[in-house]
Amino acid sequence: MANTALIAVVLAGGKSSRMGQDKSMLYSSKLQASLLQQSISLLTQLAHCEVVISSNTYAGGVKDIIPECGPLSGIHAVLNQAGLQPVNGYLFIPVDMPKLSLRLLESLLLFGEQQQCAAYANNSFLPCYLPVDHHKQNKLLTVLNQQLQSKDWSVRRLLAHLGARSMPWQDDEQLVNINNPQDWQQHCV
């Protein structure tokens, strides 16, 4: 990972058990891309950012250190790989939110920077922005390790430990995630 102001991460390491196949590779004719391609394309539009894929199957992806703990596995793996690299923050998005917009992500980053705290939109704990400096990164890794050791895989509780704030957002449709074939048919076909 190179020096950059922001590391933007696609969380694509889930088991996709309700979908019955790897969601990240599903191709949508409506999107003209797979869910993973759509997510990467969205994140590459952000300024001063490096895009990272958290995935156990994607070539070049950051592999889970502690697998099968949901999104926290990916967050943990990326933070550990980054080490103490100088960055201002991390933006984590799930691969299964095809309606996320650049406007939402830029607003979330601005909100987190202005509030000087971790941030998420409405009651959706992903996507989330985690600002870091040396002290905050150590605290974040400590909290993450404690949660994983106690088998608490809740992103909501991680954000609560970090004092995250919810950014009001009018368009809840952008925060819909695709979990099963019915969701896929409704939102992506």
Q: Among candidates 72, 78, 174, 69, which has minimal Cα distance to 132?
A: 78
Angle at 38 between CA 35 and CA 43, to 5 degrees: 125
Give me the domains of the chain, ranges plus CATH numbers.
6-188 (3.90.550.10)
Asked if 104 and 169 count as a contact pair (C-beta separation under 8 A), the reply is yes
State how far the Cα of 123 lies from the Cα of 146, in Å rounded to an integer.
24
Helix (H) or strand (E) holding 45: none
Higher pLDDT, 45 or 84: 45
The confidence score (pLDDT) of residue 1 equals 42
The confidence score (pLDDT) of residue 44 equals 97
Looking at the predicted structure, is the pLDDT value of residue 84 above 70?
Answer: no
Asked if 90 and 10 count as a contact pair (C-beta separation under 8 A), the reply is no
The confidence score (pLDDT) of residue 27 equals 77
Looking at the predicted structure, is the pLDDT value of residue 181 above 90?
Answer: no
Helix (H) or strand (E) holding 101: none
The confidence score (pLDDT) of residue 114 equals 95
What is the CB neighbour count within 10 angstroms for residue 54?
25
5-9, 28-32, 38-42, 79-83: lowest mean pLDDT where?
Answer: 28-32
